[in-house]
Amino acid sequence: MKKILALLLVVVMVAAMFVACDNQKTPETTKAPENTKAPENTKAPENTKAPENTKAPEDTTPVEPTGMKVAMVTDYGDITDESFNQATYEGAKEWCAANGADFTYYKPTGDSTAERVASIEQAIADGYNVLLMPGYAFAEAIVETVEANPDVKFIALDVSEYDLQAANGTDADFSWQYPANLYSAVYQEELAGYMAGVAAVKLGYEKIGYLGGMAVPAVVRYGYGFVQGVNDAAKELGKVDAIELKYVYGNQFYGDADITAYMDTWYNAGTQVVFACGGGIYDSAAEAAKKVGAKVIGVDVDQAPTIDGKYAVGMTVTSAMKGLSATVKTLLGQVKDGSFQGGKVETLGLVSETPTENYVQLPASTQWADGFTEADYNQLVADLFSRKITVSNDTENAPTVEIAVDYQGNIK
């Protein structure tokens, strides 16, 4: 019996040993399985790094409101006039979008001081506190409204001191003191016109025309500057006797059948290029030029995209430009940062030897050639800036020149 019990005890002990040994082995499920190792997606995946769209993109970044409400009032044209109104509108709209300022524009119901005053007063009643007004036609409207609205900034473009003083009835002694909320920028159009005149001659044109709109000071400065540029380039090249320059005013700022017929006569008689200066009057010059494959020079803004797109590719030789958009952006920036200084009429022109930094210039679309390269233009600007070359801004007397100029008065 004792032997049997001893044998059973041994069997039980052996079985227990096997169980114990088996339990001491690490079963497969207790080994660190593959998915307990740091899997690939536990490493910082690419999308846990700051992705590109965590940087504030320009087009989605909220713009801090400025508290500025900017309104433009057009003169007697529209914001698609390819001239003053359009350049002012586009510059203001771009600045306001980038700086969180409300922006709109008002178009007077007609071409009169009363209707411009009504638009100004409506803009103010609607809460707009910065007004942009392009063109000399605003002089009387400004005089009637600016002093009654001292909390509104009045920014005028190309409204001269004479325009304002005459509208105020003080042009005999220029005694009107401009209120602190009024700033008007005028331009050295004679410099832009001069550059265009030099370009025309040095690019090889000898039979040249100038078609002005109305003979207001800005248009006259453009024209007389152009005459001086043509003359100086002709002298430099020894071509004084070869140059023929015709000069006329259309007496309006848009083209029509009569002005087109006049330009037909010029081009058919051999005129090669016409500087068409004054709003939409370029239409008449371009229409006539297209018939004979001739050229035009634009004004105020780079008109190559407009004229070439409408009439013929390559028609626009260059444009005598004002920095209207740059002016608007600069002045709105000053209003925003508190550095705006009104109470004056300021003449803007060359501020640098670098052409693109100036308020009067030729565009990059100019048809550069061996006779007048971009480097030549840069040197011309440097000489004007240093006053090695000077240009008269006299609008009362035609410049004294050596070339033949045929002044033909007004078409209409």
Structure confidence by residue, pLDDT tens digits, 360-374 = 999 999 999 999 999
279 occurs within a structural domain: yes
**CA–CA separation, 379 vs 350, rounded Å?**
13
Does residue 148 share a domain with residue 102? yes
Alpha helices (H) along 211-350: 217-237, 257-268, 282-292, 304-310, 324-337
Helix/strand/coil percentages in the chain, nearest 5: 45, 20, 40
pLDDT at residue 81, as a whole number: 77
Instruction: Label residue 155 by pLDDT band (50, 70, 90).
Output: very high
Q: Are residues 317 and 241 part of one domain?
A: yes
**Pair (150, 258) in one structural domain:** no
Residues 279 and 313 in one domain: yes
Q: Is residue 86 part of a domain?
A: yes
Out of 153, 169, 187, a domain closes at: 187
If one counts the domains in the chain, the total is 2
User: Are 375 and 279 members of one domain?
Assistant: yes
Single residue among 140, 158, 187 that ends a domain in this structure: 187
Query: Does residue 177 belong to any structural domain of this protein?
Result: yes
pLDDT tens profile 268-326: 999 999 999 988 899 999 999 999 999 999 999 899 999 999 999 999 999 999 988 88
**The model's pTM:** 0.78
The answer to whether residue 113 scores a pLDDT higher than 70 is yes
Residues 259 and 398 placed together within one structural domain of the fold: yes
Provide the domain limits for residue 206: 189-321+359-410
169 shares its domain with 238: no
Residue 253 lies in a domain: yes
Q: Are 108 and 195 part of one and the same domain? A: no
Among 31-45, 257-271, 359-373, which stretch is predicted with the lowest mean pLDDT?
A: 31-45
pLDDT at 130 over 80: yes
pLDDT exceeds 50 at position 353:
yes
Residues 80 and 216 in one domain: no
Residue 46 lies in a domain: no
- Kindly state whether residues 256 and 405 are assigned to the same domain: yes
The residues, ordered by sequence, that sit 6+ positions from 121 with a Cβ below 8 Å of its Cβ are 145
Domain boundary at 187, 209, 228, which? 187
For residues 156 and 88, is the Cβ–Cβ distance under 8 A? Answer: no
Q: Which two tokens stand for residue 226?
A: 């152009």
Residues 238 and 181 both lie in one domain: no
The CATH number covering residue 151 comes to 3.40.50.2300
Do 151 and 207 belong to one domain? no
